[in-house]
Amino acid sequence: MYDRLNNYMVMNNFLTDNQFGFKEKYSKSMAMLRLVDQIATGIDKGNVTLGVFIDLSKAFDTIDHNILLDKLCTYGERGKCLYCICSYLTHRKQYVRINDNDFS
C-alpha cells in the first residue's frame, strides 16, 4: 500500500522538494544539510537568520481522520487503497504497556 500511495504522490507531483520524510533517496541528514546550508548562505549575505522549530511528532494523533480521508479522495485516491486506509483509521486505539501497566 505504501508503494502504491507513494508512487501516486510522486507521479502527480504532490510532494515538494522540502519533503524529506517517507521519500526515496531523502533522509533526515539531507534535511539538516539543507538547513545548515540555508543558514550559512543567509549569514554570508549579511541577513538575519531565524529558525522556528516545531515538534510535529504527535501531529498524526491530532488530525481529524475524516479530513485526511477527504483530502486523499480529493487528490484522486480511490478504491482498495482508500478503503484500507479508512479501515485502518476507524475504531483504532493505541496504548503503551510498561511493566504490565497499560496507558492510553
Q: Of 24-38, 40-54, 86-100, where does mean pLDDT reach its minimum?
A: 86-100
Looking at the DSSP bridge assignments, the partners of residue 102 are 97
- Beta carbons of 67 and 60 less than 8 angstroms apart: no
Q: What gap in Å lies between CA 13 and CA 77, rounded to an integer?
A: 14
Q: What gap in Å lies between CA 42 and CA 38, rounded to an integer?
A: 6
Domain boundaries, the chain: 1-52, 54-92
C-alpha cell at 12: 502527480
Given pLDDT bands bounded at 50, 70 and 90, which one contains residue 14?
A: confident
Q: The pTM is what?
A: 0.51
Predicted confidence at residue 60, as pLDDT, reads 66
Given pLDDT bands bounded at 50, 70 and 90, which one contains residue 85?
A: confident
Q: What gap in Å lies between CA 33 and CA 35, rounded to an integer?
A: 5
